[in-house]
Chains A and B, each alone.
Chain A
Amino acid sequence: MPATTKMTYREAVRSGLREALRSDPRVFLMGEDVGRYGGAFAVSMGLLEEFGSERIRDTPLSESTFVGAGIGAALGGMRPIVEIMTVNFSLLALDQILNNAATLRHMSGGQFSVPLVVRMATGGGRQLAAQHSHSLEGWYAHIPGIKVLAPATVEDARGMVLAALLEPDPVFIFEHATLYPLEGDVDESAGPPDITRAAVRRNGGGVTLITYGGSLGKTQQAAGQLALENIGAEVIDLRTLRPLDTAAILSSVGKTHRAVVIDEAWRTGSLAAEISAVIMEGAFDDLDAPVARVCSEEAPMPYAKHLEEAALPSADKIVTAVRSLF
């Protein structure tokens, strides 16, 4: 029995960062307020004191340039971890991400790789309105040349940092902001997890609920409710949004014959749409009902609590969507 420690998701990310910083001198962390302030979400609290200002680097408000500098430092032999406060601000760095990080290896004919890790918070549910609440990780999952991770559990919050650093190519980690206080048991001696596989978080035979990140909790809750109605829901946590573990999706749908995709992003042109297409292409004959989607309403995220709740996926919406398939 490995010894586990109870910790929050926030502490788990920090534990992963600390281990990476301790074990590899090439690793350093940079971003806005990661040092003296301790991180906008307090993830890096204490790391400046432990590792010093050379390795825990506060940056100016220059998303494009510090992400680009991360790319350059990776080209120069370092293993940078760049923190962008939230996905909303990452848009200012999209040029560097899409035009440089994702292209350099291919466009240089394989001469240069970019072993860069970028972490950022994503998602809504905290009444922060339309410039701090969106879930844009699906956009990133559109880009060949990068990998996209979305830890939904405390264990993955830690492990994915370590796994990302083993990758020779750029990896983007999306941490749902409502998960930071989540508690769980973590084996701090565990090595990096396999990030090529989705995880079945609950077994069931009646319907497959496919989700990731901040929606896993709501989906589990919905699965609990559905059990009371004698619908066995299988819950798949995608974990990695690019490349998708399509085999896991298809094998579950092959068993349950029904699928609902739960994704906090907007429905139109979403990752949920992609997953739905994957099922249509790979399991069309297995389906007993059309694939359903539970996504955010097609509006900028509102501030008022009741409106925000109405905009986001919820356990009730998931249950309703599942019922409609029978």
Chain B
Amino acid sequence: MSETGSVSAFGDRDHLLLLLREMIRIRRFEEKAAELYSLGKIRGFLHLYIGEEAVAVGAMQALTSEDAIVATYRDHGQALARGIPPGSLMAEMFGKANGCSRGRGGSMHFFDAPRRFYGGYAIVGGGLPIAVGLALADKLQNRQRVTACFFGDGAVAEGEFHESMNLAALWGLPVLFLCENNLYAMGTALNRHQSQIDISFKARAYAIPSDSVDGMDVTAVEEAARLAVQTVRESGFPYLLEVRAYRFRAHSMADPDLYRTKQEIETWKTRDPITTFSGRLRGRGLLNESDLAAIESAVGAEIAEAVSFAEAGPWEPVSELTKDVYTAR
């Protein structure tokens, strides 16, 4: 499928290189995060997105700065693709006061008000009702915005998925429900947690339009997301987009990854969204070695700078521990 992947529809070379660069940024950022985790600079839970970069990068192209994002604990990819500076994300993972959540959230809870990034939610399914409410606020205030809500296949088993799909459809709310189906909820495979493994099919119960797309193909994701977002924006009605991808790393740094075979992982790695896409670009003469080297070196510099920013950041004074539990008056 990836060999025939659509490139021409997004024929602008600059745009294609941007997609590639964005995926590489996420990949390198997370490789660095994993390294810093081993060094003890980053603690807590760290859920890597490696393998799924095409999902956030493709989907984010379809959204404007006016739209809202709701994400999960696996939120590095969405945050970077949304344009939150990597330094503020890295600092957050270091627990520093110059982090995007002042060090109160860590890897799982990135927030950024200026970019309408309403957070990483670590209770599976917990972000969906929030997205419904953000869309309700837009509808009540006659704003033509879309709220994009990212969640995993595991969340589909939660009541809040069904409640939120129902309420969004019932009230006609502009939510893009974007399910990142990576075939596993921690160690439980999709066919061991879903009676119906075609997730997009579930939208029919709510008469919500839906589609599923290959999440290892960034342009396919972008195309599907553009159609989905356009549908939501024009209709003011929700849409379910199931993006089928795979995570190459364990669920989190704490996961020994015993529930799937090395063979399965290796097979999926042959469909790596970055190498397949750069291969396609090369094949079409849109990318050469020096272009790639330039991207890598710019990304490398950006990440090195992010790490320095995090290293240099101050710790929030303990005296501010209870600050912002309530609004200061």
Interface residues of A, Cβ cutoff 8 Å to B: 28, 54, 57, 59-60, 62, 64-78, 80, 95-96, 99-100, 104-113, 144-145, 147, 168-169
Tell me whether B324 is interfacial, beta carbon within 8 Å: yes
With A73-B133, A75-B133, A111-B112 already in contact, the answer to whether A28 and B167 are too (CB < 8 A) is: no
With A110-B324, A111-B113 already in contact, the answer to whether A74 and B166 are too (CB < 8 A) is: no
With A60-B166, A69-B136, A145-B325 already in contact, the answer to whether A109 and B105 are too (CB < 8 A) is: yes
Contact of B170 among A60, A78, A104 (CB under 8 A): A60
Check if A72 sits within 8 Å of B134, measured CB to CB.
yes
A and B contact pairs by CB, cutoff 8 A, 28 listed: A64-B159, A65-B128, A68-B128, A68-B129, A69-B129, A71-B130, A72-B136, A73-B133, A73-B134, A73-B137, A75-B133, A75-B137, A76-B136, A76-B141, A80-B133, A95-B126, A100-B121, A100-B126, A106-B324, A106-B325, A108-B109, A108-B111, A109-B104, A109-B105, A111-B113, A144-B325, A145-B325, A168-B327
Additional pairs, 10, CB under 8 Å, beyond known A65-B167, A72-B129: A60-B166, A73-B133, A73-B134, A76-B133, A76-B135, A105-B326, A109-B100, A109-B101, A109-B103, A168-B327
Tell me whether B164 is interfacial, beta carbon within 8 Å: yes
Check if B167 sits within 8 Å of A73, measured CB to CB.
no
* B109 proximity list for chain A (CB < 8 A): 107-108
Check if A75 sits within 8 Å of B118, measured CB to CB.
yes
With A72-B135, A77-B137, A99-B123 already in contact, the answer to whether A67 and B129 are too (CB < 8 A) is: yes
Q: Mark B145-186, 1 if CB is under 8 A from A, else 0.
A: 001000000000001100110110011000000000000000
CA distance A243 to B133 in the complex (A): 27
Q: Interface size for chain B: under 10, 10 to 19, 20 to 34, or 35 or more residues?
A: 35 or more
CA distance A144 to B321 in the complex (A): 12
With A106-B104, A107-B105, A168-B327 already in contact, the answer to whether A59 and B119 are too (CB < 8 A) is: no
CA distance A223 to B305 in the complex (A): 69
* B104 proximity list for chain A (CB < 8 A): 106-109
Check if A75 sits within 8 Å of B134, measured CB to CB.
yes
Tell me whether B102 is interfacial, beta carbon within 8 Å: yes
Check if A69 sits within 8 Å of B126, measured CB to CB.
no
Check if B113 sits within 8 Å of A69, measured CB to CB.
no
CA distance A68 to B137 in the complex (A): 12
Q: Mark B90-113, 1 if CB is under 8 A from A, else 0.
A: 000000000111111100010111
* B213 proximity list for chain A (CB < 8 A): none
Contact of B133 among A54, A74, A113 (CB under 8 A): A74
CA distance A130 to B36 in the complex (A): 52
Closest 8 CB pairs of A and B: A72-B133, A68-B129, A76-B137, A109-B102, A65-B163, A69-B133, A108-B111, A62-B163
Complex: chain A residue closest to B131, CB-CB: A72
CA distance A78 to B136 in the complex (A): 9
* A168 proximity list for chain B (CB < 8 A): 326-327, 329
A99, A112, A168 — which one has the most chain B CB atoms within 10 A of its CB? A112
CA distance A80 to B133 in the complex (A): 10
Complex: chain B residue closest to A93, CB-CB: B129
Check if A107 sits within 8 Å of B111, measured CB to CB.
yes
Complex: chain B residue closest to A110, CB-CB: B324
Complex: chain A residue closest to B171, CB-CB: A57
Check if B132 sits within 8 Å of A109, measured CB to CB.
no
Check if B105 sits within 8 Å of A77, measured CB to CB.
no
Complex: chain A residue closest to B105, CB-CB: A107
* A71 proximity list for chain B (CB < 8 A): 129-130, 133
CA distance A111 to B99 in the complex (A): 12
CA distance A109 to B316 in the complex (A): 10
Question: What is the distance, in angstroms, from B321's C-beta to the closest C-beta of chain A?
Answer: 9
* A59 proximity list for chain B (CB < 8 A): 167
Check if B126 sits within 8 Å of A73, measured CB to CB.
no
Interface residues of B in 66-98 (CB under 8 A from A): 68
Question: What is the distance, in angstroms, from A48's C-beta to the closest C-beta of chain B?
Answer: 15
* B140 proximity list for chain A (CB < 8 A): 28, 54, 73, 78
With A65-B132, A112-B113, A169-B327 already in contact, the answer to whether A107 and B101 are too (CB < 8 A) is: yes
Question: What is the distance, in angstroms, from B232's C-beta to the closest C-beta of chain A?
Answer: 16
* B163 proximity list for chain A (CB < 8 A): 60, 62, 64-65
CA distance A296 to B166 in the complex (A): 39
Check if B167 sits within 8 Å of A60, measured CB to CB.
yes
* A104 proximity list for chain B (CB < 8 A): 119
CA distance A147 to B100 in the complex (A): 26
